Amino acid sequence: MENELVAEVVLSGALPEGPEGEALVRPIAEEAVAQVLGAKSEGAVSQLVVRGERIAITLTSTGARPHQALLSFVKRLQDRLGRSHRVGIRSLRALHYTVRFPLDPVPAQPIGLPIPHEIWYEGTTAVLTLSELDEEALRDNWIDRAVALVEEKARRQAYQGKEQYWALLKPAVVRPGSFREDPTEAMIRRGWVRNGPTKGKWFLGPRAAHVLRAMERLARREVLEPLGFSEVVQPHHDSFDILLRTGHLAGLPGEFYYVAEPRTRDPGAWERFTDLVKITRQVPTEELAKLVGPPSAVSCYAQCPTVYWWLSGRTIAEGSLPLKVYDRTAISNRYESGGRHGLERVDEFHRIEPVYLGTPEQLLALREELLARYTQVFDNVLELEWRTAWVTPFYLQQSGGVGVEDATERIQGTIDFEAYLPYRGSREESEWLEFQNLSIVGDKYTKAFTIRPQKGLLWSGCSGIGLERWTTAFLAQKGLDPEGWPSRFREIAGPPPPDPTFL
Ligand code: SER
Ligand code: ZN
């Protein structure tokens, strides 16, 4: 026996006590077990006691979980007893639900769950008991989610301290340069940028904005437009529902900027707040907290989730595949906390995110085309020293997953593009900057958002073109003086605008 479910059903009226009541109920329970669990899973009604309005029942099984049989039993009970004894179901709950499953290696640290439970180990078998599950928790299959969570936590413990997966794909061509400064520091000194009015954000003056927008034009002209990508314009706020479906909400709740709405826009309700502002010239934060609701959405973290939302529930005609779109409207916000550094690690950044959907073959071909176009831009227009690596896929990282998918086949997963930043030290020892990525995510998001092809398989993928990252990688290697910039980039950028002179 791997699963044992001890449950109690409360009826709206009493049944005959003892053997008579049991004779009434047992065949119904056995029928449900046989039909739902089938012969293979060796399901059984191992205990059944009828006492007045209460039925105590224990179901066991191997393989398939017995709660589906319990739910079916209760439904049948309702149908039959409702007719014959005028008795209905008042409530249903599991007192204890125990499952055994292999867990190797057994976690060294205790594993906790946020619901009543006990967990212990017999060799490499974990024995998990959840207590007090109501009908909704049973219907909603909390038991399997709890098992998955224990497995995930055990995996995470095993991975703790291990590096993220990283394997070099294409090595860099060395490009000697003379610029050695931190580009953000250099831009601050020349007044190109100013550290923003709120955390981790930057104000880009005309010169810096000119470079950033040149990068954007470059990506659109040399990569996206020739490959037939069309622009879409998406909202800035991601709903919780979207991030539940992608796994972001479970994976990174500490990295979002949350969006909250005012409870009302009635000026009368805000009067005390505005009066306090007028008198104190400060923000009455306690008063504000009362007037603003709990967070109801998230400021854009990545753009692809909302593109998938756009397509959710739709069937895409074969002629529209591969579907290639990009968004450059939503601005990404990430709570970076300790990780902030200059313009290369910020809480708010501008990114073009191409998203593509198609058959696996179409996406693999498109990845080659994108790689060729990116290579052309980084080698011949920006003349960067850059390399690529196969890394832990972004969707595993961002959904709190661990390990690496497809490390050897290299079909589904993420390629990072990294640039050498001379100011950080030697090529060998310093950390290079991830300035771009390119992923194929398989059917993870097409499934999560129920996006269907007319026939066959539908996969998707995305690529993050981080404009601040392109800008820093470029300026870190080429410096701030346009005279030192490659001629093809200067053509695309055009003449730099004057920065205001401050006295
Ligand atoms: N969605 C991908 C990421 O967040 C590409 O930008 O890394
Ligand atoms: Zn994406």
Q: In the CATH scheme, what architecture does the domain 2-158 have?
A: 2-Layer Sandwich (3.30)
What whole-number distance in Å separates Cα of residue 344 and Cα of residue 324? 28
Return the ligand 1 atom nearest residue 464 CA: 6
**Which residues sit opposite 101 in a β-bridge?**
126
pLDDT tens string 192-203: 999 988 888 899
Q: Tell me if residue 61 falls in helix, strand or coil.
A: strand
Q: What's the confidence (pLDDT) of residue 51?
A: 92
Answer whether 0.75 is exceeded by the pTM.
Answer: yes
Return the ligand 1 atom nearest residue 463 CA: 5
**Dihedral sign, CA of 236, 237, 242, 248?**
positive
Q: What's the confidence (pLDDT) of residue 360?
A: 97
Return the ligand 1 atom nearest residue 466 CA: 6
Query: Using alpha carbons only, how large is the chain's radius of gyration in Å?
Result: 29
Do residues 34 and 61 touch, judged by C-beta distance below 8 A?
Answer: no
Q: How many H-runs (helices) and E-runs (strands) does the chain carry? A: 16, 23
Compute the average pLDDT of residues 103-110.
Answer: 87
- For the residues of 271-284, what is the DSSP string, one character each? HHHHHHHHHHSS--
Return the ligand 1 atom nearest residue 305 CA: 1
Sequence-ordered strand ranges (E) for 373-458:
386-391, 413-419, 433-442, 452-453
Q: Which CATH class is domain 165-172+185-239+301-493?
A: alpha beta
Residue 302 Cβ inside 6 Å of ligand 1? The answer reads yes
What whole-number distance in Å separates Cα of residue 218 and Cα of residue 208? 15
431 is catalytic: no
Q: Where are the domains of the chain?
A: 2-158, 165-172+185-239+301-493
Compute the average pLDDT of residues 35-42.
Answer: 80
Indicate which ligand has the atom closest to the C-alpha of 307: 2
How many angstroms separate the alpha carbon of residue 230 from the centre of ligand 2?
16
CA 348 to chain centre: 18
Among 248, 301, 304, 349, say which to mutate for ligand 1: greatest number of ligand atoms within 8 Å of CB: 304
Q: What's the confidence (pLDDT) of residue 401?
A: 73
With vertex at residue 101, the alpha carbon angle to CA 96 and CA 106, rounded to the nearest 5 degrees, is 110
Among 301, 437, 467, say which to mutate for ligand 1: greatest number of ligand atoms within 8 Å of CB: 437
Q: What's the confidence (pLDDT) of residue 17?
A: 85
How many angstroms separate the alpha carbon of residue 437 from the centre of ligand 2?
9
Which residue of the set 8, 53, 181, 336 is catalytic?
Answer: 336
- Per-chain residues with Cβ under 5 A from ion ligand 2: 302, 304, 462
Name the token pair of 103. Answer: 């867990």
Compute the average pLDDT of residues 79-103.
Answer: 93
Q: In terms of C-beta density within 10 A (0-12 exposed, 13-18 middle, 19 or more buried), how is residue 476 classed?
A: buried
Q: What's the confidence (pLDDT) of residue 38?
A: 82
434 is catalytic: yes
> Residue of the nearest CA to atom 1 in ligand 1?
302
Return the ligand 1 atom nearest residue 301 CA: 4
pLDDT tens string 375-415: 999 999 999 999 999 998 998 888 877 677 777 889 999 99
At residue 321, does pLDDT exceed 90?
yes
Q: What's the confidence (pLDDT) of residue 198?
A: 86
Cβ neighbours of residue 123 closer than 8 Å, sequence gap 6 or more? none
HEC letters along 82-104: HHHCCCCEEEEEEEEEEEEEECC
How many angstroms separate the alpha carbon of residue 323 from the centre of ligand 2?
15
At residue 212, does pLDDT exceed 90?
yes
At residue 119, does pLDDT exceed 80?
yes
Q: What's the confidence (pLDDT) of residue 115?
A: 94
pLDDT tens string 417-473: 999 999 999 999 999 999 999 999 999 999 999 999 999 999 999 999 999 999 999
How many angstroms separate the alpha carbon of residue 169 from the centre of ligand 1?
19
What whole-number distance in Å separates Cα of residue 111 and Cα of residue 474? 46
Among 332, 350, 462, 465, say which to mutate for ligand 1: greatest number of ligand atoms within 8 Å of CB: 462
* Percentage of the chain exceeding pLDDT 90: 82
pLDDT tens string 130-184: 999 999 999 999 999 999 999 988 888 887 766 678 999 999 999 999 999 999 9
Which residue of the set 351, 367, 387, 469 is catalytic?
Answer: 469
Q: What's the confidence (pLDDT) of residue 351?
A: 98
At residue 273, does pLDDT exceed 80?
yes
Which residue of the set 216, 353, 405, 418 is catalytic?
Answer: 353
437 is catalytic: yes
